[in-house]
Amino acid sequence: MSIVVAYKYAPNPQDAAVKADGSIDWSRAKAAVSESDPVAIELGSRVAKAQDVELVGISVGMKVAGSAMATKNAMSRGFDRGLLVADDATAEWSSTQVGSVLADLVKKVGDVSLVLTADSSVDDAAGMMPALIAGYLGWPAVLDVTDIEATDSGYTLTQRVSGGTRTLAVPGPVVVATTSDATSPAVPSMKDILAAGKKPVEMLSADDVEPAEAALKVASTERPEARERKGKMFSTADELVAALREDGVL
């Protein structure tokens, strides 16, 4: 049996630039494992160790995601092996197509009881992937999970909800999206980094998989309209509150 974590090796938007037409220039953005993914990997690693099963990392991304630096970066965080689609052709895939291929990678791994993802990726931040993977697998998806415990019949999930948390008992395979603050992931040691280079990582190209027929094309981009600022100054908090109420903010 295996536990799978879907991660993304993506450029950091802090290094990106917005062009005059509203499109984003990623050419100077340094790629890395998305900042919330280590949380999902850490939780997955804990559950895998508790069940004495392997932890497999899967990913779909550009060719750079399959580089030695990228795979070592990912594998050093606790994976036993990896299964990746690393091909520049994936840049044209929609989120739906990526989700369908990630689900296929889960099937290729074999006997999987749990798939984890972060709450969203660092670049698109759409938060769609957990539901897409679950939909193509035919499994339930549980979002905003802060803790996972293995049981004899499945998993106990702690989910953040409005006003607090609730506990869910899941008897079968499930896709889980962890919150970004669910845990503090361990920083890979030099030993982890050196060992990561010896872990098996299977590379696939875009021709080796069949993404769903759900392509999308960006028709246009544009910058948001600049909001007009009133430039008002207030000498007291009461004046500020009154102005906000007048504008319908409070």
- The structural domains of the chain, ordered by start, are 2-223 (3.40.50.620)
Q: Would you state the pLDDT for residue 220? A: 78
pLDDT bracket for residue 243 (50, 70, 90): confident
Q: Cα–Cα distance between 207 and 38 in angstroms, integer?
A: 29
- Mean of the per-residue pLDDT values for the chain? 89
Pairing of strands 9-11, 31-33: antiparallel
Q: Find the range with the poorest average confidence among 68-77, 145-154, 222-231.
A: 222-231
Q: Would you state the pLDDT for residue 240? A: 87
pLDDT bracket for residue 125 (50, 70, 90): low
Q: Would you state the pLDDT for residue 124? A: 64
Helix (H), strand (E), coil (C) string for the chain: CEEEEECCEEECHHHCEECCCCCEECCCCCEEECCCHHHHHHHHHHHHHHHCCEEEEEEEECHHHHCHHHHHHHHCCCCCEEEEEECHHHHHCCHHHHHHHHHHHHHHHCCEEEEEECCCCCCCCCCCHHHHHHHHHCCCEEEEEEEEEECCCCEEEEEEECCEEEEEEECCCEEEEECCCCCCCCCCCHHHHHHHCCCCEEEECHHHCCCCCCCCCCCCCCCCCCCCCCCCCCCCHHHHHHHHHHCCCC
- Are the C-beta atoms of 25 and 19 separated by less than 8 Å? yes
- Are the C-beta atoms of 51 and 74 separated by less than 8 Å? no
pTM of structure: 0.82
Mean pLDDT of 138-157: 95
Question: In terms of Cα–Cα distance, which of 55, 87, 102 is closest to 196?
Answer: 55
Mean pLDDT of 205-226: 86
Q: Would you state the pLDDT for residue 123? A: 59
Q: Find the range with the poorest average confidence among 34-48, 195-209, 233-247.
A: 233-247
Whether 122 shows a pLDDT value over 60: the answer reads: no
Q: Would you state the pLDDT for residue 156? A: 96
Mean pLDDT of 85-104: 94
Question: In terms of Cα–Cα distance, which of 55, 85, 52 is closest to 202?
Answer: 85
Tens digits of residue pLDDT in 10-47:
777 676 677 777 777 767 777 778 778 999 999 999 99
Residue, of 14 and 177, whose pLDDT is higher: 177
- Are the C-beta atoms of 99 and 130 separated by less than 8 Å? no
